[in-house]
């Protein structure tokens, strides 16, 4: 019997050594990304203007990095909070931890060089070599033209500094270790010519991260690539209400296969009409996390390119119930 206990104790010891060794390997080996590049570019008015357009209407960085007011439809940024961060994402949204959008005004990024910001935006790795949870869509930004990323950097450097300390994000174990393996070096591309609508539309769809919200996810929270753009991803609201992303595939019955280009563009541009007044929304009433008012500022030519690209993608039949009221207390 004593010999059996000794064998069991030895086996447990081996397992513990392997486990501790594996954890140590993950902890000290990852993330595997290149050092931040040495960058030098001018913060010209052209760069800042282009960066403002991207950050507010395409990549919509300001959607998360501002305080959104969900007492109004689509939760527009609260005036005076642009870039201050603090938006909280937690277990109530089905996430493995508690995460906060960082302060990206000059107050929050003062200790970052431009190269470190570029690496952070395109790989999710901070200047302290910590990894951001991929709620920040750095995997998509890593495929953008570096010049567009430089423009965004120039723009956020131009924001009014807001002195606001954001709490540290914390992922649950073992996600806290697994997420270290996600970052990889960016795979940048040269921005396609707007005249090539399909290629340019694909570029914009990647920059906007459309697939991330408009695709169902598996049990690990990863996008199901075979069902891209079929909608059906749930986003809980406080109180138990759930908004579900729309099917934007080319299916004629459940997607946008019957939409004309004009219909698609107008779906966004209706929010820029001079007569439009954004409605107030009470808790439990229909609302959405889709930042319509921000995307509405996208250029019509860009929206048309997105439409043309989406029309080249496969159709997926998936009828979506867009909103369910809360039943939880």
213: its two tokens: 């919200």
Q: Which of 58-62, 94-98, 197-201, 203-207 shows the lowest mean pLDDT across its residues? A: 94-98
Closest to 156 (Cα-Cα) out of 107, 115, 204 = 107
Q: Which of 148, 163, 190 is the last residue of a domain?
A: 190
Q: Tell me which residue range forms the domain holding 202.
A: 192-324
Rounded CA-CA distance 92/100 in Å is: 14
Judge whether 4 lies within some domain: no
Please indicate, yes or no, whether residues 216 and 151 belong to a single structural domain of this protein: no
Supply the mean pLDDT for the chain.
91
pLDDT the model gives residue 323:
93
What integer pLDDT is reported at residue 221 of this predicted model? 72
The pLDDT score that the predictor gives to residue 284 is: 87
Whether 8 is covered by a domain: the verdict is no
Kindly state whether residue 301 falls inside one of the protein's structural domains: yes
Judge if 186 and 218 occupy the same domain.
no
pLDDT at 152: 98
User: Residues 128, 181: one domain?
Assistant: yes
Average pLDDT over residues 63-87: 95
Are residues 196 and 135 part of one domain?
no
Residue 26 within a domain? no
- Binned at pLDDT 50, 70 and 90, residue 30 comes out as low
What pLDDT sits at residue 328?
Answer: 43
Task: Convert the pLDDT of each residue in 201-234 to its tens digit.
Answer: 999 999 999 999 999 988 767 789 999 999 999 9
Task: Give residues with Cβ within 8 angstroms of 257, minimum separation 6.
Answer: 249, 250, 251, 315
pLDDT band at 6 (very low <50, low <70, confident <90, very high): low
Is 202 inside a domain boundary? Answer: yes
Q: How far, in Å, CA of 171 to CA of 95, rounded?
A: 9
Percent of the chain with pLDDT over 90: 83
Q: What confidence category does residue 18 fall into, taking pLDDT thresholds of 50, 70 and 90?
A: very low
Residue 274, SS3 per DSSP: coil
- Residues 63 and 169 both lie in one domain: yes
Last residue in a domain, options 167, 190, 213: 190
Percent of the chain predicted with pLDDT > 70: 89
Q: pLDDT (tens digit, 9 = 90+) per residue, 229-283?
A: 999 999 998 888 999 999 999 999 999 999 999 999 999 999 999 999 999 999 8
Task: Give yes or no: residues 161 and 202 share one domain.
Answer: no
The pLDDT of residue 95 is: 85
Q: What is the mean pLDDT of residues 102-117?
A: 98
3-state DSSP percent of the chain in helix, strand and coil, to 5: 40, 5, 55
């Amino acid at each position: 019997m004593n010999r059996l206990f000794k064998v069991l104790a030895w086996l447990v010891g081996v397992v513990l050594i392997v486990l501790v060794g594996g954890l140590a390997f993950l902890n000290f080996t990852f993330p595997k990304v290149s050092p931040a590049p040495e960058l030098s570019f001018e913060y010209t008015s052209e760069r800042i203007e282009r960066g403002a357009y991207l950050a507010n209407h395409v990549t919509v960085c300001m959607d998360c990095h501002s305080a959104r007011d969900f007492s109004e439809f689509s939760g527009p940024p609260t005036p005076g909070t642009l870039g201050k961060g603090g938006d909280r994402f937690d277990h109530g949204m089905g996430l493995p931890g508690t995460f906060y959008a960082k302060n990206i005004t000059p107050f929050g990024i003062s200790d970052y060089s431009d190269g470190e910001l570029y690496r952070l935006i395109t790989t999710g790795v901070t200047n302290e070599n910590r990894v951001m949870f991929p709620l920040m869509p750095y995997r998509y930004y890593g495929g953008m033209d570096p010049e567009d990323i430089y423009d965004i950097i120039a723009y956020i450097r131009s924001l009014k500094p807001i002195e606001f300390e954001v709490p540290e994000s914390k992922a649950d174990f073992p996600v806290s270790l697994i997420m270290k393996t996600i970052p990889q070096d960016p795979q940048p591309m040269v921005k396609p010519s707007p005249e090539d609508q399909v290629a340019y539309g694909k570029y914009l769809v990647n920059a906007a991260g459309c697939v991330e919200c408009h695709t169902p996810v598996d049990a690990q929270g990863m996008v199901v690539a075979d069902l891209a753009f079929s909608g059906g991803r749930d986003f809980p609201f406080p109180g138990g209400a759930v908004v579900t992303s729309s099917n934007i595939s080319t299916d004629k019955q459940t997607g946008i296969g019957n939409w004309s280009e004009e219909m698609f563009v107008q779906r966004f541009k209706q929010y820029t009409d001079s007569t439009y007044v954004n409605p107030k929304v009470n808790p439990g009433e229909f609302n959405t996390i889709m930042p319509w008012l921000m995307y509405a500022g996208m250029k019509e030519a860009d929206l048309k390119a997105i439409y043309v690209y989406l029309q080249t993608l496969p159709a997926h039949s998936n009828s979506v119930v867009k909103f369910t009221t809360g039943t939880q207390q």
